[in-house]
Amino acid sequence: MLYVEPGVNRHMAAHRTLSLALASALAVSLCPALGAAAPLIGGLGGPAGYGTGNLPANDDGSSAELDVSAAFPRGLHFFDTTYTSLYVNNNGNISFGFSLGSYTPSAFPIASQPIIAPWWGDVDTRGGGAPSRNGVYWSVTPGRFVVTWHDVGYYASHDNLQNDFQMILTAAPPGVGDFDVEFRYNRCEWTTGDASGGSGGFGGTPAQAGFDAGNLRDFVALPGSLTMRVLDLCRTSNVGMPGVWRFEIRSGEIMCPGRGDPCSTGRPGVCEAGTLVCVSAEEARCAPNVEPSEETCNGLDDDCDRSTDEDLGTTTCGVGECVTTVDNCVGGRRQRCRPLPPSEELCNRLDDDCNGVADDLRDLSCGVGACAMSALACVDGVPGECIPGRPTREVCNGIDDDCNGRIDDTLVDCVPPDAGLPDAGLPDAGLPDAGFEDASTPWFDAGSACTGRNCDPYRITGRAGPIGKCSCHAAGRGGPPPFTAAFVVALLGLGATRRLRRSKRR
């Protein structure tokens, strides 16, 4: 079936002005033929290896309605409609609902014409060469439908420049009617047929590639469509493979190019890694996989500010000279604060042994006996000094008066006060009244006369007289010890006799 766009005389369109021819020639010189970019899928059977279905040599022709339920038992859900059949059109596209013979592409969107077009242009296969070239073929297998425009020429019957491209539809889980679309471009050498304002394959209205729902709303036009840059489809891609363009159609909607592919956001830290998400049917943006969050100690830039593990603070521990401060995070690992080890306490206003008190040194001690002294070891950071007392003459008092380390060592028969005898302190303090009749406890021994310095004033007490072998009395302790009445009378008589003698001499 041939379809001629209304209002256009194909024979008249073949004759262009000289100026248009010159413009086309200039375009050819500026856009030389591109080499092979993406290899086409072959081995599909048929005369050229691209399938058993094919269009005969024609201009603007289309196939009969093709049932594709063998490939897609649940149909192809394309925008608002699910299709089980389609048409292969000679001019580089397939259409749903009815065939399309328009040779000059209209800018998307268009009305009432759902279309998938890898290269909508004025293809003309009448230049001969089939099956090695100038043929349109298709293959229907379970889960896949492939259409190939193999080395096709342009109107009118030109085959000096050839385009080689392919469209692959593949069933995709999980939804009913979901499928993937792949365009593969192997040769891109012409853009325009002579009847579309072109000359020599260029100029006029260049080819268009993409999708159109036919509802004047939903469409995708590939980069360069309707311009000379459409030739770049052979060396550009939305999946990183020159000449290969892939799209997903889910729930009837065309996903944007590369949706779900990993990408780089260009942002620092954890925000750098991203995934392509759709902004619209024809545009994707790289969204970060992780949004900025509060910085944690993990060796990552969580808040995406180009700094890692920053502002996590410090911890201080210990007391005195054991105090230390550590960063809470070093090298992505949390740090534990351990106080510094203590040292010997010194007099320096510092808490060297880390017990919370500075200069808590033990008091100094010096000297022995009565010379023993003590002093603060440290006063306001200045070491103290202990000076022993001055020694004195040793007396019988249970004290090391001369500070030689021995108590009462120079005295004879000194009984120190701590010898275990009672010390009443005053006369009649409770000692028994021995008297003379108790010969077993004599208190006077002429053979042990002692001097006053050797007497123990603390042991001469009580009515029984002195205790021990001291025959003298201690000065200041109440005079001589009490004697018996007879001895006192004798002494008084002796005194009276001496006074009488003195009086006679006179």
Q: In what order do the strands lie in the sheet with 273-280?
A: 262-264, 273-280, 283-288
User: What was the pLDDT predicted at 413?
Assistant: 80
Residue ranges with strand state E in 188-301:
198-199, 202-203, 208-212, 219-221, 244-250, 253-254, 262-264, 273-280, 283-288
User: What was the pLDDT predicted at 276?
Assistant: 82
Q: Give the C-alpha separation, 439 to 452, whole Å.
A: 26
User: What was the pLDDT predicted at 261?
Assistant: 85
What are the residue ranges spanned by the domains of the chain? 10-254, 310-360, 362-411, 426-499
Are 45 and 51 within 8 A, CB to CB?
A: yes
* Nearest residue to 374 (alpha-carbon basis) of 383, 390, 362: 362
* Nearest residue to 163 (alpha-carbon basis) of 140, 146, 184, 145: 184
Task: Output the six-digit token pair for 130.
Answer: 């089939």
User: What was the pLDDT predicted at 244?
Assistant: 95
| Number of neighbours of residue 195 by Cβ within 10 angstroms | 27
Strands 364-366 and 373-375, bridge-based pairing:
antiparallel
Strands 208-212 and 144-154, bridge-based pairing:
unpaired
Q: Give the C-alpha separation, 401 to 113, whole Å.
A: 130
Percent of the chain as helix, strand, coil, to the nearest 5:
10, 25, 60
Phi, psi (rounded to 5 degrees) for 492: -65, -40
Q: Give the C-alpha separation, 240 to 476, whole Å.
A: 125
User: What was the pLDDT predicted at 103?
Assistant: 97
Written as one string, the DSSP assignment of 460-477 is --STT---SS--S--TTS
Does residue 251 come out as left (phi exceeding 0), alpha (psi in the -120 to 50 range) or beta? left
pLDDT, one tens digit per residue, over 266-303 is 999 999 999 887 655 557 778 899 999 999 999 999 99
User: What was the pLDDT predicted at 238?
Assistant: 86
> In a 10 Å sphere around its CB, with 0-12 CB exposed, 13-18 middle and 19+ buried, how is residue 133 labelled?
middle
Q: Give the C-alpha separation, 201 to 203, whole Å.
A: 7
Listed as ranges, residues in the chain with pLDDT below 50 are: 1-35, 421-489, 505-506
pTM, full prediction: 0.50
User: What was the pLDDT predicted at 307?
Assistant: 94
What type of residue sits at position 378?
C
User: DSSP state, 340?
Assistant: P
Task: Output the six-digit token pair for 88.
Answer: 């292969």
Q: Give the C-alpha separation, 237 to 219, whole Å.
A: 18
Q: Give the C-alpha separation, 316 to 326, whole Å.
A: 7
User: DSSP state, 42?
Assistant: -
- Please tell me whether the peptide bond between 109 and the residue prior to it is cis, using omega within 30 degrees of 0: yes
Are 23 and 203 within 8 A, CB to CB?
A: yes
User: What was the pLDDT predicted at 403?
Assistant: 94
| Number of neighbours of residue 231 by Cβ within 10 angstroms | 23
User: What was the pLDDT predicted at 433?
Assistant: 39
Size of the chain, expressed as the number of residues it contains: 506
CA distances from 116 to 93, 100, 308 (A): 6, 11, 49
